[in-house]
Structure 1
Amino acid sequence: MSNYFVSAGIELQEGADLKEAENGLRLLVEQTQSEPGCILFEIRQNLKQPQKFTLWECWTNRQALQDHFEMPHTKAYLARNLTEVNYIEELGEIGSNARPDTA
């Protein structure tokens, strides 16, 4: 079984406060990193466009990521409507045609 890798582009929602979003994302990272099944959860801010962020995630499997969205801290962050997802990429090893674990 291989790990489940995801990359996502997120952006500040129109009218949201950048500092509030930065603080919220920092807290989300801190809380998510201790979740069961989380191998990597990292958010980086674009240096030229600070309202844009890139999220890198690695989970033991897809179910671990799905469970992440049921965590109280994740629901609390999402309810604040500070950022929106522009894209999500499911990633694998170079040259691998294997599909991510669906369990």
Structure 2
Amino acid sequence: MKSNREQIMNNSATGTLSITAELRINDTITLEAGLSAVQDFCDAMNSEVGCHMALAHQSSEDPRTITLWEIYQDQTAFEAHFSMPHTQAFIKSGVTELIKAKQSQPVFSLNQETKI
């Protein structure tokens, strides 16, 4: 059985989809509460069928700016993500504002020595 890393990086031919989203934790929410909500959201995304990875990064320059990296099996899995109750609850919570998002697809596979 392939590892998650191998599955992710070898799926470029089958439509693996990467998402990079920049969020900003709203000023009406404490930073700690916002980070906790983002972490809970990532945990829930990582349990989705078809979501290979959801990872949040906090900006060093602005702690309220979060970059989400998400990798989905395909476009269908990404679209299903938006119908998930945890996604709808996170969007409706108003904890964050979406600044920008972009989609991409891997153009190469990582070899065994590459660390991610």
Q: What TM bracket, shorter-length normalisation?
A: 0.7 to 0.9
TM-score by length of 2: 0.74
Q: Does 1:71 align with 2:84?
A: yes
Q: How does 1:1-103 map to 2 (within 5 A)?
A: 1-94=14-107
Task: State the Cα RMSD in Å.
Answer: 1.6
Larger mean CA deviation between 12-21 and 45-54 belongs to 12-21
In the alignment, the residues of structure 1 paired with residue 106 and residue 55 of structure 2 have an alpha-carbon distance, to the nearest angstrom, of 19
Stretches of structure 2 lacking an aligned partner (at least 5 in a row): 1-13, 109-116
Stretches of structure 1 lacking an aligned partner (at least 5 in a row): 96-103
Larger proportion of helix: 2
TM-score by length of 1: 0.83
Amino acid at match of 1:29: C
Is the CA contact (8 Å cut-off) linking 1:17 and 1:82 kept in structure 2? Answer: no
- Structure with bigger gyration radius: 2
Is the CA contact (8 Å cut-off) linking 1:13 and 1:84 kept in structure 2? Answer: yes
Aligned length: 95
